[in-house]
Structure 1
Amino acid sequence: MIKIKITWKYCLAFYSIIMLYASLHELVHHFSGYFICGDWGQKTFNYFETACEQDPKSLIATYIGPIFSFIMMYVGAHFLTHKSSDYKKHLGFAIIFAQLPLQRMISPFFKMNDEFYATAQLFGDSAFIYWSVIIIIWLICLPPLIKAYRSIENKHKLIWFLFYLVLFPYILWGPIFGMLEFLMVEKKFLAQPIIGIGLLFIINEVITILGYYFVKKYINPYYQ
């Protein structure tokens, strides 16, 4: 069980975790695309394209990003076991929601996610594919989310759970992520690519890793 307490230091730690895993999700796309295609594709904060986009095997790179995020959700759920330290439990809880599970679960309804795009490319955009993708994603996401819900010790645990699922990660991380994408893509600020990745993305990744190293201890809000 964990007792949620939001402090400004906790927000810094949680932000760093969200940005770290959002970036890793994108880098998993990009590097797997390199190994599949034999050359670098293009990568912004919120978009990737492989070097062999017309080859169906490039869709493997599309799937690998969500697979990474799903695995991390289960790693987070594992950290919530009763044998874990308080720090590890809070970290596990944060890792689950850092994968932005609501986005993974809701976007396929609008045919907007990696999972739906790749599956529709392979098997066609039919009602069967549409609902199959949605059901599979929900079946994958629900167990770690249920584990996270049950781990909350605070009163009004459903409100806390919905706050993390629907709002908190997005208001903490979303505006900065969107601003960085806008600066690099629309304003061409530090947009020059290195191994297909915009320089601003690389700089942000370095800052995120350093920030995470220094503030990760505060993901346990009771750290002294």
Structure 2
Amino acid sequence: MHLKLSFAYVLTFLLLLIVMLELHETAHIVVGRFICGCWGPRDFNVWSLCAGCAESHPLWWLATLAGPLFSFALMWLGMGWLGDAELDRAALGFALIFANIPFGRISTVMLVGGDEMVVIRHLLKNEYSYTQLISIGSVLVLGLGVPPVIKAFRVLTNRRSWLYVVSFLTLPLLFLLMYVLTGLNTLLGAGILATPWIMGTPLLITLHTSIAFMGLLWLRRNLLPSTYQL
């Protein structure tokens, strides 16, 4: 598969990235609502169970696990599509892998953060040392996150394909940190459209995601070889 990057491709990929981020958070809050019976507070990338849920529901950690499970499942779905003889589906598989930020999932665990470490530390805190917990978490996320990335590297026919893979691993994460996690969360913190409504989600998040989703539907063909290949 040969990628030909363009402004239209990058824009469409970033819209997919935004939608995937919100779906990740939605997986958290929906499972949390099912367990707790109420919606907790949230912003663009941080969510919480409603008050008292963790103390009264021993399975609260399933809500934390739901987000990464969803993201890794989509990465592996994308990896499966990479082997498809239909180039359009293979290209969508490539985009799906990196829109779920595998490097972000791996790096946060190695830095003793992320949803995965919350669950691991909760389930194994009485059986393993701190260093062992980090090692267990790192092995798990590497096992889940690296195979899709390796498959994506192998299917690319671009010259210096390693540079494409490194860029897709790091630049989307940088975009999220600057635009979503810093910029948009700052707007929420200032009270702009911050009132929770559907699913306990602030109006700004719903509005922003809706615009991104509509843009993705409109521009989706920019991710396909039939559009960007000569």
1:86 aligned residue: 87
Cα drift, residue 121 of structure 1: 2.1
1:189-204 to structure 2, matched below 5 A, reads: 189-194=192-197, 195-204=199-208
Cα drift, residue 170 of structure 1: 2.9
2:38 aligned residue: 39
Q: Deviations over 1:59-114 (max 9, x none)?
A: 1000010000000001111111142x222111110110011111111111221110
For 2:155 and 2:47, the matched residues in 1 are separated by 35
Cα drift, residue 189 of structure 1: 0.8
Cα drift, residue 220 of structure 1: 1.9
For 2:123 and 2:97, the matched residues in 1 are separated by 29
Seen in structure 2, the aligned counterparts of structure 1 residues 79 and 139 have a Cα distance that, compared at 3 Å, is same
1:143-222 to structure 2, matched below 5 A, reads: 143-167=147-171, 169-178=172-181, 179-184=183-188, 186-194=189-197, 195-220=199-224, 222=226
For 1:180 and 1:16, the matched residues in 2 are separated by 15
Whether the 8 Å contact between 2:110 and 2:137 is mirrored in structure 1 is no
Instruction: Give ranges in structure 2 of 5+ residues lacking alignment.
Output: none
Instruction: Give ranges in structure 1 of 5+ residues lacking alignment.
Output: none
Letter in 1 for 2:202: G
1:39-58 to structure 2, matched below 5 A, reads: 39-51=38-50, 52-54=53-55, 55-58=57-60
2:105 aligned residue: 104
Cα drift, residue 172 of structure 1: 4.4
| Bigger Cα displacement from structure 2, 21-30 vs 42-51 | 42-51
- TM-score (norm. length: structure 2): 0.90
| Bigger Cα displacement from structure 2, 56-65 vs 124-133 | 124-133
Aligned length: 220
Letter in 1 for 2:102: P
1:7 aligned residue: 6
- TM-score (norm. length: structure 1): 0.93
